[in-house]
Structure 1
Amino acid sequence: MPSKRSPYSAPGSVAPTGDSAVRVCILGGGFGGLYCALALHQHLGKISRPVHITLVEPRDRFNFTPLLYELLTQELAPWEIAPAYTDLLKHTAVDLRQDWAEQIDLAQRRVTLRQGSPLTYDYLVVALGSQLRPPLVAGSQAHSLPFNSLGDAERLERRLGDLAHQPTVQVVVAGAGPSGVELACKLSDRLGSRGHVTVVDRRGEILRSYPERVQRAAGRALGKRGIAVYLNAAIDGVDATGLTFGHGGQPHHAPADIVLWTVGTVPRPWLGGDALKPTPFGQYPVRPTLQLLDHNNVFVLGDMAAMPAPGRERAPLTAQAAYQAAPVVAHNLAALIAGRSLKPFVYHHLGDMLTLGQGEAVVCGFGLCITGRLGAFSRRWAYWLRLPTMAHRWRVLKHRLGLR
């Protein structure tokens, strides 16, 4: 008896019948790609056909980016927030290719890799995330540090080590968004009385897209630490001595031993020559099921996709959105392979969480707003629940509890 199809079915997209394994290729090992691969592995027992899952990711370690800031104050160890992919995937059917995806050929269903042989696929998942916005400010690339990966955290740690015996350390953070605020508070606590931290942003408020309660909590945390904040400030340039900006109609120069650049990210562009037209925000239109509009066998999720969100123009470019989309894509892949109906993705905003220094955070959601140490505990617990695998969560918990 034929299966009943929902409005989200995709006739003709099911892999050919036969004994050969269905080839699923997932590009990107972040919150979208890795979590999709892990969720799809859980579905394999419900699929009658063999499925071969390949995850393409150039890094050797997953980066749980929301907790990178805890490395600066040594509240967490690198292995806790950056476990090796080989450890996360060793008890799964996922084949890890540590390589860069260079080009996608939608017509030939092929992905070209930088180092290895090309991969052919029946189904493709694209979850390559975002990249730093191309620098428009003179000297910003040569004289500032980003903070978006474990490698960035390690470079900053080395720079802090170089300045360990300097009596004062001047830090300028470009950008008063979440990353800028979190970095400023953590570094202020790390440096203590030696540190002079300044935040500069062209916008008129900190955390512009966040609720007022979060903005107020962040403002109090910055003020308590004596962090200087310049808003409505146009950054003119960065050099070896610091950052130059205009404020109040006057030129200013903030001297700096370290300049941290947190001024925005943009979705990564599509790989290859396929004529896919992005939205004005640089994302790619998808169906409610997160399939590409003209390619039933290709899913795009995370920052690269204009994912639907009730009451919003689109889902935000956050780990939270990619984390929610990953199991939906895994479910829909399994459904396509098995000939079942697909389901739409619906983004649910679960609240906002920011670290505001060592042992301090703000957590707002569902009508509640928790700050201080209780906020820090709540944030850490919420993120612990979202670590990639149960085995890794248990290892971290045992370490935190002092168990062997």
Structure 2
Amino acid sequence: MSATWADHAIFWQVYPLGFVGAEREALPPGEPARHRLGQLEHWLDYLLELGCSGLALGPVFASGSHGYDTTDPFRIDPRLGDDQDFDALVAACRSRGIRVLLDGVFNHVGRDFPVFRRAEQGDPEARRWFRWGDDGPVSFEGHDLLVALDHDEPAVQEHVGAVMRHWLARGADGWRLDAAYQVPYAFWRAVLPGVRAEHPDAWFVGEVIHGDYAAFVTDAGLDSVTQYELWKAIWSALNDRNFYELAHAVERHSAMLDTFAPLTFLGNHDVTRIASRLEHPDHLGHALAVLLGVGGVPTIYAGDEQAFTGVKEEHEFGDDAVRPPFPDDPTGLAPFGAPVRELHQRLVGLRRRHPWLTHARTGVEHLANTTLALRSTGPDEAILVLLSTDDAPQRFPDLPHGETLAESTGTDEPLLLPPHGWRILRG
């Protein structure tokens, strides 16, 4: 990993257009910018109090609607503000030691992207920027408003590199590469070295849904990818009371740490909220114990730490429920989320006190349908994560352990869990 700061990063992820309650569609030409990006400054101390150290921003660049139909990647979306608003937010993050990760949409563009407009009018140089089929431009996964770029075109490679360098020079620390799985490895290999030459501390994480994650990182020259496999296994195993699925995923996850530290998460702007996904509300602690007790670079999706609910649906505006507006500042939050926030603070705090966990290897020490023991090991330390989804108390085998670091319910016997309990012990 080129950026050593990422070894200590725990991100709080925000989808800005939803967070600030922006309009669904781009502002009409000539409309003044809505200076809403500054609203995020009111949440930076909250981010730190949660224990996080990075702000992962969803799309902030000019687009037609949801941010992933980019029209000008060199301009802040007027629904959020302008360059000065961005600079002020970055400065506010810098003053608090918060790293900023931007969301780069480099697989496709919106139909109002100026080069595509020229391509539609027959400009041969512009046409080379895009992929074409018998019926016109190739779209991204059937979304007609998202036009796929031709990543073999040198002008596209130069364009993406220029966008990355521009915002890194303005203070960003790295990039989440949207739909990276749709982009040839060779493209990232062509673009990233030039960006790294000017910004050697930048960190690049690709959105990858499935496949050989380690090979993607190695062959594309990235630092990390999104760990969807672990995400799915966590909630699925808890709901099905089948820890064999989670054990298998954790073993695969641990093997990835030989190559890179994945970006781990329980929620993001594209999936149903974890509070809505889990069938048993007491299992949120189990999920967090896994997220923060195994290797990787953890991310908390804004609102998950407040027990926000929301189900993603497969239709137009089907993401709205997981991308809601937030209050102007944390004082506007409802009080019912406080216990879940405190749980996050405890486990994020544990993670901060054990930074070696970013590159820890995790082994399965005990496995049954409803009980699981995971041992994460670093150079000089280890922790033991005990989980139970059983309706009755469960006693674990005599596993080596030390003091209790965090738990759902206190008991006098560290290896005895109450029904639906969890515990993290010094290993």
TM-score, normalising length: structure 1: 0.28
TM-score, normalising length: structure 2: 0.27
